Structures are given as structure tokens and as C-alpha cells.
Amino acid sequence: MKIAITGGSGFVGKELTRLFHTGGHIVYILTRNPKPSTPNTKYIEWLKSGSSPERELEGIDAIINLAGSSINDGRWSDQQKKEIYSSRIESTHELIRIIDQLKKKPQVLINASAIGIYPASTTVTYTEASGDRGDDFLAKTVIDWEKLADHASSYGVRVAFARFGIILGEKDGALPLMALPYKLFVGGTVGSGKQWLSWVHVKDAARAIQFAIDTPELTGPFNVTAPNPKTMKDFGKHISKTLNRPHWIPVPGFALKAVLGDKSRLVLEGQRVLPKVLERHGFQFSFPDLQSALADIYK
């Protein structure tokens, strides 16, 4: 297959590229700063004045939209919130324009999303059938992002939304920051510890996207989370056990709020989210439980 990826140089994008190469697929990376292409990876300039990526994407089979400014960098200033939102909307608008220009439309668009669309709760369990929506910045961003991406369906393109949980990997994503206090022997429960953390190993995140491409019946939202979420307290204890470090110094919520502002919600609030759509279609997680995921990451 010919598969285009926006945000291909990011955490999940790099894992997807490795996975697709293993399967013999050709990957087209849409980027502002293209590198020299190789036989199985084509770099295509986009989102720059004068660029016309559609010329090189004719005959593409699938598009994966991961583009967007990282939510993990620094404190959320008003300017950074604007960038997080506008980067996702701008890139998705451009993808819809590209699809409009293609004579042969791709079979499927997998658009990144987030479980932050659901309200924070310590008691509710969310699935794709849940209609509840959050009212904070991240939820509103995800709602608008999904709504815009769904315009591709008007061209006969199957559209699916990968609602990612906390993606775990050794060097990227949230885990290195969460594990650092334990490596320094000062790890402990963050906030109340009762908040839910719905996580997924990066390898399973990539496999879930490939599964969605290969499953024609899968449309709409699908939660990309392992089937066994943990509370923050339990999550910390698993990191402690894996790294053989103590779990003893709590981090109060007010301290995180003072340092991170609104961004502190990412760790002080959470949702218990289950991947019912993936399970219903027969997806098998390589790392369904946290201990096996951490053991693989820190092996």
C-alpha cells in the first residue's frame, strides 16, 4: 500500500513508519522540511507557500493525520494553546483540500484524536458509545478537530478517529517525565492518586492504526487505550516496581497547578476509557497490562 502520514517525524509517526516498512508498504511523509527520499519513504513538502503535495499523492491508499503542535512542551500559555489548536485545524483543512484535488480518493483517513474529549471522572467508564463531552480547552480542540476531519467522508473516504490515551515509550511521550522522579529516588503519588490514567504502549498504538486501515468496517471514533487502565497511584507503583525504586514522596496537586497551570489537568484529572471498538473488531493487544508494557519499554 501507499500510505501518507502527516506528523510522521513524531513519536507515533516514527513507530508507524517502522511498522509499515516491515510490511513492505511505501510511506509518504508530509513535512515542511523534506529530506531526500528513499525507495520506501517519500518526503513531500506541504504547508508552505507554493507547495502542491497533491501532485505526488495521486494513487495514495490511506492517509494518517498526526499533525499538530505537541501538548507536552512547557506550560500552556495562551499563545501555546492557540498554536495547539490552530496547528491541528490548519493541517486538517489542508488535508481536506488535498483529498478534493485527488482524482482517485484514498480509501481511508485515520485522524488522530484524544480521550481528552471525554470529561474527567473518577467514577465513570467511557467507551466510544459515550456521548458525554468535556468543556475544557483540550476537549473543545478535539471536538472541532474530529468535526473538520469528518468532511473527508463527503468524498467517499472512510474516516476513523484514533482517540489516543497516554502513549508509553522509553524516550518520547509522557512516560520519561513520569519516570524521572523514580529514577532520582523521589517518586510518589501525583495529586490524589485516584485519577484514572488510560494508557497504551506505542507499539500497540501503531498496530491499532494499521488495524483500522485494514478493517473496512471500522469507522468513526475508536479508543486507542489498553483494556486495563490504572489509577495514578497504581501507575506510579508499577513504575516503582519496574525500575526498582521507592514510591514514597507525594506530589501535591496545588504544586503542579502552580508550575503547569491548565496543563496540570493532564495528570491531575483523567478518564477511565476502554477500547471497545477495537476489541469488537478483533484487535489483540500485545501489551494489555501495564506491567508487561513497562517491562518491554525498560527491558
**Among the ranges given (111-120, 185-194, 197-206), the one the predictor scored with the smallest mean pLDDT:** 185-194
Q: Does pLDDT of 96 surpass 90?
A: yes
Residue 193, burial from CB neighbour count under 10 angstroms (0-12, 13-18, 19+): middle
Tens of pLDDT along 44-55? 999 999 899 999
Given a cut of 70, is residue 257 above it in pLDDT? yes
Predicted confidence at residue 74, as pLDDT, reads: 64
Q: How many CB atoms lie within 10 A of CB 33?
A: 8
Q: Which CATH number goes with the domain that contains 160? A: 3.40.50.720
* Average pLDDT value for residue range 38-42: 94
* Model confidence at 262: pLDDT above 80: no
Tell me the per-residue pLDDT of 151-197, one tens digit each, with 9 for 90 and over. Answer: 999 999 999 999 999 999 998 888 988 898 899 998 888 889 999 99
Locus of grid cell 476509557: 273
For range 206-231, the mean pLDDT: 98
β-strands 166-168, 272-273: how paired? unpaired
Categorize the per-residue pLDDT at 299 as very low, low, confident or very high, splitting at 50, 70 and 90: confident
C-alpha–C-alpha distance, residues 207 and 261, integer Å: 34
Segments forming the whole domain that contains residue 240: 2-294
Alpha-carbon torsion angle 41, 100, 33, 14, nearest 10: -40
**What local confidence, expressed as pLDDT, does residue 207 receive?**
98
Mean pLDDT of the 20-29 span: 97
What whole-number distance in Å separates Cα of residue 246 and Cα of residue 181?
10
Q: Are strands 272-273 and 125-126 parallel, antiparallel or unpaired?
A: parallel
SS3 of residue 119 by DSSP:
coil
In a domain, 173, yes or no: yes
Say how far apart CA 203 and CA 200 lie, in whole Å: 8
256 found inside a domain: yes
Question: Is residue 276 one of the residues assigned to a domain?
Answer: yes
pLDDT for 81 beyond 80 = yes
- For the chain, what is the domain count? 1
Per-residue pLDDT, 76: 76
Whether 299 maps to a domain, the answer reads no
User: From CA 118, how far away is CA 138, in angstroms rounded?
Assistant: 10
Residue type at 221?
A: P
pLDDT at 143: 97
pLDDT for 256 = 72
> Residue 266 pLDDT more than 70?
yes
If you average pLDDT over residues 198-209, what whole number do you get?
98
Q: What is the mean pLDDT of the chain?
A: 94
Q: Determine contact, residues 190/236, Cβ cutoff 8 Å.
A: yes
Decide if 20 is inside a domain: yes
In single-letter form, the type of residue at position 77 comes to S
**Confidence class of residue 265 from pLDDT cuts 50, 70 and 90?**
confident
